[in-house]
């Protein structure tokens, strides 16, 4: 084990990260050896990002009635859930939320909308909202609006949106098990289109949907091949009414092991803890940031509530981490 970890650290410190074969070997780590794996990941994180932690926040700007059949999602029209339904929010509540998050310590703010994509009419409204956010806050602006065309992404970029969020969700092989109404390649095409207009891309996925650790590793290599700088790691929150309402959630140590392996594959990326961490990790949330994570989505998520921003900042400060202006 020590020999493999030494090799992994050397490869990560060299910049590219570990290869797939070594990642699969590290996936077999069990018991107390997971702590050694986490410690190696922590050292790599601090080599590239020091003790800086990046914070972002979102608002669910359009909720429910989504045409897509993603089996984990409370907002899909295919399933009967208790999620609230509403059309695109007006600028006032969005601006109020953005200012609240900025004052609380967030560095980046994103509108997230349900649906496969966005009509040009709705995009006009969204662009107006982003113009107001750009003028009236100092937040870095991100968007998560589904599958868009290159022309639509160009309009967002021209308006000051510097990052586009679009998750792969899981591995290429496992993706058909969680969604059949669009393809993995559809998602990759949107990512590449966003990059082509000048945007950075935030893309990750969800752990604990029934995938294997090899699937999680394969997703990490897809993200590395796409040069993704910010990788949100969600953990399934099984929602009543969805096909995954009874899906068992991974044990905390398995999640921490996966995060550590991600860091060794993606040595310089921001690994961003996002939805589901409260329920899945319980009182071990802080260990994510000792296992390779160096970013977080703070405040409430799309259809579930998170901890307060102040609680997350206090946790990070207790770990000796610095919460400062976004570098991504």
Binding residues for [4Fe-4S] cluster: 66, 70, 73
Cβ atoms 205, 170 nearer than 8 A: yes
What residues are paired with 270 via a beta bridge?
230
Annotated binding site for [2Fe-2S] cluster: 110, 142, 202, 272
Are 200 and 229 within 8 A, CB to CB?
yes
Residues with Cβ within 8 Å of residue 249, at least 6 apart in sequence: 208, 235, 236, 238, 276, 279, 280
DSSP symbol at 289: G
CA distances from 66 to 158, 174, 249, 284 (A): 27, 21, 25, 33
Q: Which residues belong to the annotated binding site?
A: 66, 70, 73, 110, 142, 202, 272
Closest C-alpha to 39, from 287, 269, 232, 238: 287
From residue 79, give the alpha-carbon distance in Å to each of 74, 174, 177, 249: 7, 21, 16, 20
């Amino acid at each position: 084990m020590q020999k493999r970890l030494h090799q992994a650290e050397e490869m990560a410190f060299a910049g590219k990260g570990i290869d797939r074969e070594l990642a699969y070997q590290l996936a077999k780590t069990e018991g107390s050896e997971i702590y050694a794996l986490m410690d190696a990941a922590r050292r790599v994180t601090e080599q590239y990002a020091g003790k800086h932690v990046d914070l972002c926040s979102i608002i669910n700007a359009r909720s429910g009635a989504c045409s897509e059949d993603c089996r984990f999602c409370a907002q899909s029209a295919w399933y009967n859930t208790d999620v609230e339904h509403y059309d695109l929010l007006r600028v006032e509540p969005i601006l109020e939320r953005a200012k609240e998050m900025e004052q609380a310590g967030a560095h980046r703010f994103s509108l997230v909308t349900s649906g496969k994509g966005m009509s040009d009419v709705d995009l006009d409204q969204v662009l107006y909202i982003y113009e107001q956010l750009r003028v009236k806050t100092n937040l870095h602006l991100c968007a998560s609006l589904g599958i868009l065309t290159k022309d639509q992404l160009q309009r967002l970029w021209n308006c000051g949106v510097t990052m586009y969020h679009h998750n792969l969700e899981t591995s290429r092989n496992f993706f058909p098990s969680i969604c059949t109404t669009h393809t993995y390649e559809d998602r990759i095409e949107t990512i590449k289109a966003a990059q082509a207009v000048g945007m950075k891309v935030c893309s990750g996925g969800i752990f604990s949907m029934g995938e294997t650790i090899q699937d999680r590793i394969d997703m990490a290599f897809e993200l590395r091949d796409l040069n993704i700088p910010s990788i949100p790691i969600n953990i399934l929150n099984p929602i009543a009414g969805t096909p995954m309402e009874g899906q068992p959630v991974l044990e905390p140590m398995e999640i921490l092991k996966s995060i550590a392996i991600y860091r060794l594959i993606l040595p310089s990326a921001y690994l961003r803890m996002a939805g589901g961490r409260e329920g899945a990790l319980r009182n071990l949330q802080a260990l994510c940031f000792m296992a390779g994570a160096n970013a977080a989505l703070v405040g409430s998520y799309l259809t579930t509530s998170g901890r307060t921003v102040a609680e997350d900042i206090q946790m990070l400060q207790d770990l000796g981490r610095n919460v400062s202006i976004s570098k991504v």
